[in-house]
Structure 1
Amino acid sequence: MQMNDAAALLLAGLAGCALGGFFFGSLWWTVRQTLTLSSGRSALWHLGSLLLRMGVALIGFYAIGAGRWERLAACLAGFVMARMVVMWMAREWADRRAPTVKEAGHAPQP
């Protein structure tokens, strides 16, 4: 493996992180936005978001891979890492936003 190959794989992994960040970050944003919508257009939002996210991801993988399976594998690894990061961030955000619920006490004993 030459230095150029290693640099290309590193760049493909970073590009995969960017693609994954866009894909899963947009999904998270869409879900949060549609939870606040009072109209019945949330399905349209999700469908439009899906088409946009899938289109960007597929074009990105196609361009980054350039017919080389090693680049595609590095891009996929970065994509999966971005998924884990966005899931961690969403969980942290939800934990901070969750209201603290006071546990109900038992009825007094007679």
Structure 2
Amino acid sequence: MTMNETPALVLACIAGGALGAIFFGGLWWTVRKSLVSSRPALWVFASLLLRMGLTMAGFYVVSGGDWRRLLACLAGFVMARQVVTRLTRPLDARQALSDQEARRAP
């Protein structure tokens, strides 16, 4: 890997994070919306098609045929999953998690 490729990989990772935030944030929003909808199956199915289409197109564009950029994009996508999962937990679950982490601290 040369110095010229490093910025492209960093940008691919950031783009993967953005795609992941859209995908998993959209999933969270869809689940919440479908719980109060009169047509939850329509919401879930339409959301799936939209989220998958955007994600696959984004991965295709970001990778540009280079497996290293595809892998960097995937790494950003997985990191975004972790962030969205942590941010969308109920407040009491976040508090319990921080209490557990505090007890493990030296």
Provide the C-alpha distance between the structure 2 equivalents of 1:71 and 1:19, rounded to a whole number of angstroms.
14
User: Could you tell me which residue of structure 2 aligns to residue 107 of structure 1?
Assistant: none
In the alignment, residue 82 of structure 2 is paired with which amino acid? M
In the alignment, residue 21 of structure 1 is paired with which amino acid? A
- Give aligned-pair identity as a percent: 58
User: Could you tell me which residue of structure 2 aligns to residue 20 of structure 1?
Assistant: 20
Provide the C-alpha distance between the structure 2 equivalents of 1:15 and 1:22, rounded to a whole number of angstroms.
11
State the superposition RMSD in angstroms: 1.3
- Structure 1 residue runs of 5 or longer lacking an equivalent are 98-110
TM-score when normalising by structure 1: 0.81
CA drift of 1:95 comes to 2.8
User: Could you tell me which residue of structure 2 aligns to residue 95 of structure 1?
Assistant: 91
Provide the C-alpha distance between the structure 2 equivalents of 1:4 and 1:52, rounded to a whole number of angstroms.
34
Query: Larger radius of gyration, structure 1 or 2?
Result: 1
Structure 1 or 2: larger helix share?
2
| Aligned residue pairs, count | 93
User: Could you tell me which residue of structure 2 aligns to residue 42 of structure 1?
Assistant: 40
User: Could you tell me which residue of structure 2 aligns to residue 29 of structure 1?
Assistant: 29
CA drift of 1:96 comes to 4.5
In the alignment, residue 21 of structure 2 is paired with which amino acid? G
Provide the C-alpha distance between the structure 1 equivalents of 2:3 and 2:36, rounded to a whole number of angstroms.
50
Provide the C-alpha distance between the structure 2 equivalents of 1:46 and 1:35, rounded to a whole number of angstroms.
10
Q: Which portions of structure 1, spanning 4 or more consecutive aligned residues, are displaced by more than 3 angstroms?
A: none
In the alignment, residue 54 of structure 1 is paired with which amino acid? M
- Structure 2 residue runs of 5 or longer lacking an equivalent are 94-106
